Amino acid sequence: MKISDLQPNLNQIGKSAGAANQANGLDFARILAQELRGLEQSGPAGATAPAAPATTVAPQLRIEGLSLSETAISTLDAFGQALGNPALKSGDLEPYVAALEEETAGLLAMRNDLPADDPLAKLLDRVATVSYLESAKYRRGDYQ
């Protein structure tokens, strides 16, 4: 038995819905063609408008920011492994949390020295956020 035998009007319903969508301007093929024409008119993919001149950040500041981010991520990883160790008591986690708090403060201080649209600033924000959340969870008692 075929599905079309059970529901003979199914094909008619699909055709009428397609016609209604075309009448409402929801024809996929027409929308796709319009978008493709728009891409062709805007020029080749490699020819984008020049980016706004970015403020230059000292290479030493970038290296220091990346180094601090790596340190914080390593501390987060060690903290996660310590949480998974049932032999450790919650008091044994205090050094990890103290390090996370210090690194969070350092990340935020360095973040203030960077322009808001800098990719490194976004990275520092993300790492600082995770570090802060993990230390706050510990202080709140989530890991006890």
Q: What is the pTM of this model?
A: 0.59
Q: Looking at the structure, do residues 37 and 63 belong to the same domain, yes or no?
A: no
Q: Looking at the structure, do residues 71 and 21 belong to the same domain, yes or no?
A: no
Instruction: For the chain, give the mean pLDDT.
Output: 79
Is 26 within the bounds of a domain? yes
pLDDT confidence of residue 50 = 47
Q: Looking at the structure, do residues 136 and 102 belong to the same domain, yes or no?
A: yes
Q: Looking at the structure, do residues 63 and 38 belong to the same domain, yes or no?
A: no
Q: Looking at the structure, do residues 129 and 100 belong to the same domain, yes or no?
A: yes
Residue ranges making up the domain that contains 21: 7-42
Q: Looking at the structure, do residues 35 and 105 belong to the same domain, yes or no?
A: no
DSSP 15-74: HHHHHHHHHTT--HHHHHHHHHHHHHHH--TT-PPPPPPPPP--HHHHHHHHHHHHHHHH
Is pLDDT above 70 for 42? no
Average pLDDT over residues 72-99: 91
Structure tokens belonging to residue 7 = 């529901």
As a whole-number percent, the residues of the chain with pLDDT over 90 amount to: 40
Q: Looking at the structure, do residues 79 and 132 belong to the same domain, yes or no?
A: yes
